[in-house]
Amino acid sequence: MKIETLKLSKWYGQVLGVNNLTCTIGPGVTGLLGPNGAGKTTLIKLLTGLMRPSQGSVRINGEEVWNNHRLFRQIGYAPEADAFWKFMTGESFIYSLTRMYGFSHDEAAKRTGRAIAAVEMEEGRDKKIASYSKGMRQRIKIAQAISADPEILILDEPLNGMDPIGRRKTIKMIRDMGKAGKIVIVSSHILHEIEEMTDTIILISHGRVLAEGNIYNIRELIDTHPLKVVIRCSNVDVLTAKLMEFEDVRSVQFDRSQNQLTVETVKPDLFHQRIPDIVLKNDITIYSMFSPDENLEAVFSYLVR
């Protein structure tokens, strides 16, 4: 199963929400990333068939999504904005929406129970949604999204307002669904949250895709920006001198008091390959080595610039 968009655009009068966007999304967890106002929610509404494209198309397995009721049962959606009948309890809310998928009373009741258990909302199932905290409302939205066991799950800012324990459990559930072969799309403007779920991302800004694919592959394409590597080690002076011998090393800054140096290299793979040989030949001990650039925030800031 796959989702494909082709030259997809949506505008509101003179405002362009999504701009000529083409991408393909397959099984697993995909992070939809971008700052507020980037077009993420507009794109999600187009993917779920809640909004008609101004131009271009959205297809699931080759079928147009817009006005295609047969596809809707395959899509579970948890919107960012709350849309509840607050006089309902959490259980009655999920049951009612599950029945709308066409399930019988008994089957809808069974699926409602499973969905509530999956998000650990058993204690709040009989309480009115009006009394729920933000985190509880988020979990009950996710429960209704998964109640029909859809092949496609689309979650718009699902962790917003959750406590740390709820976040951790929700992240695990999302990862598990991706491993089970479902298409899971999670939007967020908080980069480290997406990093905990997946390394497959779509970066969007001003309604356009800046990059898509594996974060590390995307990072390798950014050859105009040297990769920074921070190393804590013994014999800082010796390692600094050795590294400066290579043309791909743009600069080395070191701090003897911290036994630490920061290297900028334009060939990260080559740099990492030579480090073991250098430390063995020069009796250097590496205490820690990491790259502050090997994360979503660095990739996103580079691409936006």
Domain co-membership, 171 together with 241: no
Q: What would the two tokens of residue 208 be?
A: 């356009």
Please give the share of the chain, as a percent, with pLDDT higher than 90: 50
pLDDT at 15: 81
As for how many domains the chain has, the answer is: 2
Here the CATH number for the domain that contains residue 232 is 3.30.70.100
Which one, of 173, 185, 176, 208, lies nearest residue 303 by Cα?
Answer: 208
Domain co-membership, 62 together with 194: yes
The yes-or-no verdict on residue 223 having pLDDT over 60 is no
The yes-or-no verdict on residue 30 having pLDDT over 80 is yes
- Cα 301 to Cα 282: distance, rounded to the nearest angstrom: 37
- Spatial CB neighbours of 46, under 8 Å, sequence gap ≥ 6: 5, 8, 10, 18, 53, 58, 65
In what side-by-side order are the strands of the sheet with 75-78? Answer: 75-78, 152-156, 183-188, 28-33, 200-205, 208-214
Domain co-membership, 102 together with 189: yes
Q: What is the mean pLDDT of residues 144-167?
A: 90
pLDDT at 106: 96
pLDDT at 98: 94
Domain co-membership, 161 together with 31: yes
- CA distances 162 to 7, 79, 91, 170, 296, Å, are 35, 15, 20, 9, 22
Here the CATH number for the domain that contains residue 19 is 3.40.50.300
- Residues 134-147 as b/e (b if ≥16 CB within 10 A, e otherwise) read ebbbbbbbbbbbbb
In what side-by-side order are the strands of the sheet with 15-25? Answer: 15-25, 3-12, 55-60, 63-64
* Sign of the dihedral defined by the CA atoms of residues 230, 231, 235, 240, in that order: negative
Domain co-membership, 263 together with 287: yes
Residue with tokens 């290297």: 263
Domain co-membership, 95 together with 188: yes
The yes-or-no verdict on residue 295 having pLDDT over 80 is no
pLDDT at 221: 62
Domain co-membership, 24 together with 113: yes
Q: Which of 189, 214, 239 is the last residue in one of the domains? A: 214
The distance of Cα 72 from the centroid of its chain, to the nearest Å, equals 22
- pLDDT 10s digits, 245-292: 998 898 898 888 888 999 988 887 788 888 888 999 999 998 888 877
Q: Which of 169, 186, 214 is the last residue in one of the domains? A: 214
Q: Which of 196, 214, 232 is the last residue in one of the domains? A: 214
Domain hosting residue 287, numbered range = 222-304
Domain co-membership, 229 together with 205: no
Domain co-membership, 199 together with 228: no
Domain co-membership, 161 together with 142: yes
pTM value is 0.76
* Sign of the dihedral defined by the CA atoms of residues 99, 104, 109, 113, in that order: negative
pLDDT at 220: 64
pLDDT at 13: 81
Domain co-membership, 44 together with 162: yes
- Cα 90 to Cα 120: distance, rounded to the nearest angstrom: 12
**Secondary structure string (H, E, C) spanning the chain:** CCEEEEEEEEEECCEEEEEEEEEEECCEEEEEECCCCCCHHHHHHHHCCCCCCCEEEEEECCEECCCCHHHHCCEEEECCCCCCCCCCEHHHHHHHHHHHCCCCHHHHHHHHHHHHHHCCCHHHCCCEHHHCCHHHHHHHHHHHHHCCCCCEEEEECCCCCCCHHHHHHHHHHHHHHHHCCCEEEEEECCHHHHHHHCCEEEEEECCEEEEEEEHHHHHHHCCCCCEEEEEEECCHHHHHHHHCCCCCEEEEEEEHHHCEEEEEECCHHHHHHHHHHHHHHCCCCEEEEECCCCCHHHHHHHHHC
CB-CB neighbours of 67 under 10 Å: 8
Domain co-membership, 162 together with 229: no
pLDDT at 170: 92
pLDDT at 205: 82
Q: Per-residue confidence at 300, pLDDT binned at 50, 70, 90?
A: low
Q: What is the mean pLDDT of residues 193-222?
A: 80
